[in-house]
């Protein structure tokens, strides 16, 4: 870490709280620097003694299977989002989806109340892998495979190199590994090459896999799986 550093950034870097949580702790008088209550925007110097009074909230990390038709964020009238579904079915109210998965797609989402993971996880320069199982409307060709892997021009933007694996028993199905997440990216890539997606399911984010989860099921991330995940995010 490079000093001087804003107090909320310091608390985020040391894993105590996200910057937003740190600002709340500071406003509540729970952060002490060298024996004096910290102030919002205060700079921390090398050798400063920083203490947090009281407990911060327990951090929760979930792998969740979003079903088709469920909205990730900000539902319109008549739509159901992940937060509403979790609250209704499991009384879970303290986590939010990290990133998005469009309404017609399904599969793995990471849910958490740890604001520290959002930036590193969604950083387009971090090259974190995401894997999808995809069914299209006609048999895929060698040309389609090569184009998807090399990068596809979608409205003036060329996608990063990807990895495509064909299915041994279904020539319209394949898995795709990408390291970015433009809006409707995979659907737009396929459409640009003359293919329409029938089903799209995300099966992996970084080292987290969907496993045996079914729509609207979740499991807690913990132990070695969580340690590897957080380490890859620099936390």
Residues annotated as catalytic (active site), given as ranges? 102
Yes or no: say if 182 and 159 are a contact pair by the CB < 8 Å rule. Answer: yes
Long-range contacts of 121-125 (CB under 8 A, 24+ apart): 121/205, 121/206, 121/233, 122/98, 122/181, 124/180, 124/181
Phi and psi angles of residue 37, each rounded to the nearest 5 degrees, phi first = -60, 135
The two three-digit tokens of residue 140, written as one number: 């895929």
SS3 state at 45: coil
- Phi then psi for residue 63, to 5 deg, are -100, 125
Residue 199 and residue 229 in contact, taking contact as beta carbons nearer than 8 Å: no
């Amino acid at each position: 870490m490079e000093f001087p550093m804003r107090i909320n950034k310091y608390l985020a870097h040391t894993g105590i709280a996200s910057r937003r949580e740190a600002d709340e702790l500071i406003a509540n008088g729970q952060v002490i620097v060298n024996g004096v209550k910290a102030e919002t925007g205060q700079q921390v110097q090398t050798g400063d003694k920083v203490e947090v009074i009281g407990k911060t909230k327990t951090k929760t990390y979930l792998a969740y299977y979003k079903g088709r038709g469920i909205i990730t964020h900000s539902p319109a009238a008549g739509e159901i989002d992940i937060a509403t579904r979790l609250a209704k079915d499991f009384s879970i109210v303290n986590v939010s989806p990290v990133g998005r998965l469009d309404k017609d797609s399904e599969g793995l989402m990471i849910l958490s109340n740890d604001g520290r993971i959002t930036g590193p996880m969604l950083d387009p320069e971090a090259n974190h892998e995401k894997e999808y199982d995809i069914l299209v409307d006609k048999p895929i060709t060698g040309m389609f495979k090569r184009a998807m892997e090399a990068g596809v021009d979608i409205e003036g933007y060329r996608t990063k190199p990807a990895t495509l694996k064909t299915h041994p028993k279904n020539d319209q199905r394949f898995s795709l590994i990408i390291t970015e997440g433009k809006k409707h990216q995979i659907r737009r890539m396929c459409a640009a090459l003359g293919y329409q997606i029938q089903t799209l399911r995300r099966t992996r984010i970084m080292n987290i896999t969907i496993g045996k989860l079914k729509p609207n099921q979740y499991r807690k991330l913990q132990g070695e799986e969580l340690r590897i995940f957080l380490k890859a995010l620099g936390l």
